[in-house]
Structure 1
């Protein structure tokens, strides 16, 4: 017999990503936000509420570390089966993740988890080995991770939160991670030069880049409580859009230094890796110099610049963005770099 559980009634539930703190329901704003649980059952379902005007949300279902479903979510309330007809005596780890990023241009965008239905029992989760925060643009949002190589349409389908360097690295490291990323945005400006489309402006909010009265009421514009999630490592992968959005490298460099200061105030103990290079390295000298200037001026040695491998022919996904092989190469470099620094990190 299936039993219904409100999200607040589920023991050992782990919330993934920045949320407004409410379990009635759990509202998912960012790429790779979601829930994780261990369950011993033959089947399990999640009730979801969705809304949108243009860009429908997608979700990923991951069972024991393997992607089992990738689904477009329709408007309204519906139940999604995470698995069924399974052997009862095995404990399975299940994640349900938001596959798509936040959509500032769609004020109706909404994805909420309402309840879980299962015939089994919930069990404790393993303590993660590491806490990561990954900050970026379309690359970190997984743009290009789905669709044919020649596909250039920009829509919800082209994103992929799992075939993605952030997810790959976190999985290899046994980490939980928060993702703060938005397509087309940079550290100083967007790819079109819009200085209001810069991640640092909204970093201290839950998901302040969203628009609309409903998102405001849901707390997207509220201050984020950094005590809820203090990352051991922060990976910043910004600069790709700034390279096409402006020729003023002095302002880009200043934006990097200012953002590093903000990151340090909000996350006093985190080791910060500023990464760049998956889609060319046009402004690498500017970024690397800015990181060095910040370290020299502040004496903060828990910051490092990391050159990422460029995406080569045959490694692209859709929309001329990095594909699986490119994300895999970057994940490998980040895992090796983070493992090198493990002795400097705070034990979870």
Structure 2
């Protein structure tokens, strides 16, 4: 029989020893989570702990995972409304537990109601200090970095939140291997110049300097998603950029039409199937300009372009752009790393890298980053 203890409710904003993971605003009452991999982390005694969660959506529900002492013990779809979620129950009240709650899905910009907030904790233990992690990593990317297809059967093709898994992505696995704090800025289908379908508004660099500018709804604006991000509050040691996969796809898709202006946007191929040199040059210039922006925002970080889990057709252009940036700027804290490509055996849902592909990429990337930091 589980012994009952008095549970005390503690508003999140009043708690000292709760680590906030992921980009967010300074508002803690409640705490709004935007990005994949964001959440909270804490150490606590006690036999039971609950988290008050509020969520809303139209079609793209939120998913959370719960980690106790470094092991994922639960992964669940959240119900609409404001509810108490039990993180653990019946555990030894004297032992200190390491607890993480992780947002599994990326920002869903097409869902104007999308919302995930944490209000309070309720438990019978005492929070303990959490030691700061010695390394901070930022990951910038697309569906691969969002963990799309990291969970689910290979035959799954539905584009739904269920098949997104921050916990199985190479970003979290790399950070865990290095004992690092990490943050993710990623959107499925987006790229450097455009999305996979040539939409120039879906380019990650356009929104990098905002808290979560990829969310454009009125609710999101009111929650601070479009505020300028305060980079001084969290400076990474390494910024990992994994972009270009969707730019390659755009070369093979029809033009995108801006309905307001009637203008067409297209990354073009020549009749022989090679890249149009003008459009390839635009891509390389975009890479250079993004590196300049990243350096301005993260003056001491190593900028690492990591690419290749879905092939390497843009790798020569990335190398040229990075080399040109280094020559023109004199910046030497920049490099390119080729990630291991997904294989037939490591394919996950939606023809994306599966858990095994992410694990292999994380193993190699963590080894390279460890060398950079020493």
Question: TM-score band (shorter)?
Answer: over 0.9
1:10 paired residue number: 15
2:3 paired residue number: none
2:33 paired residue number: 28
1:346 paired residue number: none
Separation in 1, partners of 2:218, 2:109: 12
Q: Does the CA contact (< 8 Å) of 1:135 and 1:236 recur in 2?
A: yes
SS of alignment partner, residue 339 of structure 1: helix
Separation in 2, partners of 1:223, 1:119: 38
Deviations 1:218-246 (A, max 9, x none): 11001000011100111000000000113
Deviations 1:102-141 (A, max 9, x none): 0111110000001000000000101202011000000000
SS of alignment partner, residue 83 of structure 1: strand
TM-score (norm 1): 0.97
Deviations 1:199-219 (A, max 9, x none): 000000000111211110111
Match of 1:124 among 129, 146, 164: 129
1:50 paired residue number: 55
Match of 1:203 among 196, 208, 213: 208
Misfit runs of 4+, over 6 Å: none
Q: Tell me whether 1:173 sits opposite 2:204 in the alignment.
A: no
Q: Tell me whether 1:317 sits opposite 2:348 in the alignment.
A: yes
2:332 paired residue number: 301
1:93 paired residue number: 98
Separation in 2, partners of 1:75, 1:8: 22
2:114 paired residue number: 109
**Any residues of structure 2 matched to 1:260-299 within 5 Å, and which?**
260-299=291-330
Separation in 2, partners of 1:273, 1:295: 12
Across the aligned residues of Structure 1 and Structure 2, the Cα RMSD in angstroms comes to: 0.8
Unaligned runs of 5+ residues in structure 1 are 344-348
1:164 paired residue number: 169
Measure how far apart 1:88 and its partner are.
1.2
Q: Tell me whether 1:232 sits opposite 2:233 in the alignment.
A: no
Measure how far apart 1:186 and its partner are.
0.5
**Any residues of structure 2 matched to 1:180-259 within 5 Å, and which?**
180-245=185-250, 246-247=267-268, 248-259=279-290
TM-score (norm 2): 0.91
Measure how far apart 1:29 and its partner are.
0.4
SS of alignment partner, residue 314 of structure 1: helix
Q: Does the CA contact (< 8 Å) of 1:44 and 1:81 recur in 2?
A: yes
Count of matched residue pairs: 343
SS of alignment partner, residue 346 of structure 2: coil
Separation in 2, partners of 1:328, 1:10: 34
Deviations 1:149-176 (A, max 9, x none): 1111000101000111010010111111
2:160 paired residue number: 155
Unaligned runs of 5+ residues in structure 2 are 1-5, 251-266, 269-278
Separation in 1, partners of 2:223, 2:14: 21
Q: Does the CA contact (< 8 Å) of 2:213 and 2:225 recur in 1?
A: yes
Measure how far apart 1:21 and its partner are.
1.1
Measure how far apart 1:42 and its partner are.
0.6
Separation in 1, partners of 2:27, 2:176: 26
Q: Does the CA contact (< 8 Å) of 1:11 and 1:123 recur in 2?
A: no
